[in-house]
Amino acid sequence: MTAIQENIRNIYSELPDNVQLVAAAKTRTIEEIREAIRAGIGIIGENYLQEVLPVFNTFGRDIRYHFIGHLQTNKVKKAVDIFDMIETVDSEKLAVEINKRCSYINKIMDILVEVNSGREIQKFGVMPEDIESLIRRLAPLSNIKIKGLMTMGPYTGDPEEARSCFRETRNCFEKIKAMNIPNVDMVILSMGMSNSYSVAVEEGANLIRIGTKIFGPR
């Protein structure tokens, strides 16, 4: 068993059955990704369109692809051809462009709305207090489907420092879910990365994005 495969087995052994694992494959080689898939990974997360192209050309639709970086509107046309979910929608402008490009190819794109749970100026995402308003504006768009929320949480060495951010995102998730807004299906709460996923799961995450804990340091 390779180190990557052992890492994945160890992570899966810690996770509740309802938690999905996304392998964050930024800068990783095709062979590393192949090992992860052999170990049971079914979703590859990519931050950049140019990095997913060789992965998609190699594995095609045998796996699912999530966009987990900041998506520029001028990259949407190509992104909607490949990705099964865009986790980082943080503006009406971006959502409208995704909706338009998907309408051209008769596709409904699953999206998550990205929450800036730490209210950090340098980060993307919608402030928690603005989530409901944005979701209500996006809900009528017929070629996207809002499936939940995503947050990054603060980049710190101590995962406990992210707990309050994860908790606030969960509160936003539950609040929106209870509203039963048409075309909004709040089922996915994407929170937690290599250093913070355990805390994220404790706070309600059912999808986590792991890179270095699977593949090792970049």
Query: Do the Cβ atoms of 173 and 204 come closer than 8 Å?
Result: yes
Q: How confident is the model at residue 16 (pLDDT cuts 50, 70, 90)?
A: very high
Q: How far is CA 68 from the centre of its chain?
A: 5
Q: Does 91 score more than 80 pLDDT?
A: yes
Q: Compute the distance between CA of residue 82 and CA of residue 76 in angstroms, rounded to an integer.
A: 10
Interhelix angle 30-38/3-14, nearest 10 degrees? 50
Q: Token match 């309050």: residue?
A: 164
pLDDT tens digits, one per residue of 104-140: 999 999 999 999 998 888 789 999 999 999 999 999 9
CATH superfamily, with its number, for domain 3-215: Alanine racemase (3.20.20.10)
- Residue 9 pLDDT: 97
Query: Do the Cβ atoms of 21 and 12 come closer than 8 Å?
Result: yes
Q: Token match 């050309």: residue?
A: 57
- Residue 112 pLDDT: 98
Q: Does 159 score more than 90 pLDDT?
A: no
Residues shown for the chain:
218
Average pLDDT value for residue range 26-45 = 97
List, as one string, the DSSP characters of the chain: --HHHHHHHHHHHHS-TT-EEEEE-TT--HHHHHHHHHTT--EEEES-HHHHHHHHHHHGGGSEEEE-SPPPGGGHHHHHHH-SEEEEE--HHHHHHHHHHHHHTT--EEEEEEE-TT--TTS-SB-GGGHHHHHHHHTT-TTEEEEEEEE-----S-GGGGHHHHHHHHHHHHHHHHHT-TTEEEEEEEE--TTTHHHHHHTT-SEEEESHHHH---
Q: Does 156 score more than 80 pLDDT?
A: no
Q: Compute the distance between CA of residue 173 and CA of residue 19 in angstroms, rounded to an integer.
A: 16
- Residue 85 pLDDT: 98
- Residue 15 pLDDT: 97
- Residue 123 pLDDT: 85
Average pLDDT value for residue range 73-94 = 98
- Residue 194 pLDDT: 93
Q: Compute the distance between CA of residue 135 and CA of residue 21 in angstroms, rounded to an integer.
A: 25
- b/e sequence 58-72, b meaning 16+ C-beta within 10 Å: eeeeebbbbbbbebe
Query: Do the Cβ atoms of 147 and 188 come closer than 8 Å?
Result: yes
Query: Do the Cβ atoms of 27 and 211 come closer than 8 Å?
Result: no
Q: Does 154 score more than 80 pLDDT?
A: no
pLDDT tens digits, one per residue of 61-71: 999 999 999 99
